[in-house]
Structure 1
Amino acid sequence: MTETLKREIITTAQVKDILGEVKADDMDQIQRWTFDYVTKFAKTEGKKAQKMVKKLVEECDLTQEEAVEVVNVMPTTLEELRAFTFGWKKLILTETLEKILAILKADSEDK
């Protein structure tokens, strides 16, 4: 059994990077399924995702969990973002939603 060193909420893109460093032969069944999933559904690269999460927390007053959710989904319109954040049970101003979209767009386009 493996000892847990620390718990941290990370994006699917970061999971992909972590599991990508493990040889397929060394993965157990769940790790292989997880790697297959994140390979199909990660919307950006791990370092970009980490940078976006940090900016969303610092500049848009989102929690780490909220920022990770947004980066995992990568909404592209205000309507998509509103529908997604509706369940958070907190009011997010249109100005903040627009800033979130700008961060996602700018960082996803960075090379």
Structure 2
Amino acid sequence: MPRKILEVTEVTVAEVGKILERAKEGELGEFQRRVLEYAQKFSKLKADKAKKLMKELTSSFPVESKEAAQIVNCMPKTVGELRAILTAKGKIYTTEQLQEIIKTIDKYRD
């Protein structure tokens, strides 16, 4: 029986790792195991902090959830790095806006 997609939600690499950790109680396929390894290796925050940061970015700044997920996955340290992520959508942000976003990201760094 084919599966039906009920909802599409943007999630970070850290959240994917948490979801697969819970699913690991059953049996993971080869692809799922590899994705879990990737998530454990490359996530920059714990899942709960990643989710909070995503929520803060989307509520405090003119950032869509897809962009917020990429920001959380990359955790840019400079305005230049952040600008590279955000200009993909063609939006223009002032340097001041970008600096405020970096300050927000810095609050969540370990």
TM, length-normalised to structure 2: 0.89
Q: 5 Å matches for 1:30-109?
A: 30-109=31-110
CA offset at residue 86 of structure 1? 2.5
Q: Give the corresponding residue for 1:20.
A: 21
**Unmatched runs of 5 consecutive residues or more in structure 1:** none
Task: Tell me which amino acid in the other structure corresponds to 2:90.
Answer: K
Q: Deviations over 1:62-84 (max 9, x none)?
A: 01111111111110111211222
SS at match of 2:39: helix
Task: Tell me which amino acid in the other structure corresponds to 1:8.
Answer: T
CA offset at residue 4 of structure 1? 3.3
Q: Over aligned residues, Cα RMSD in angstroms?
A: 1.6
Task: Tell me which amino acid in the other structure corresponds to 1:18.
Answer: I
SS at match of 1:21: helix
Question: How many residues are aligned here?
Answer: 109
Q: Distance in 2 between matches of 1:11 and 1:98?
A: 22
Preserved CA contact (<8 Å) 1:24 1:32: no
- Which sits farther off after the overlay, 49-58 or 85-94? 85-94
Task: Tell me which amino acid in the other structure corresponds to 1:77.
Answer: T
Preserved CA contact (<8 Å) 1:43 1:73: yes
SS at match of 2:59: helix
**Unmatched runs of 5 consecutive residues or more in structure 2:** none
SS at match of 1:105: helix
Q: Distance in 1 between matches of 2:29 and 2:69?
A: 25
Preserved CA contact (<8 Å) 1:48 1:108: no
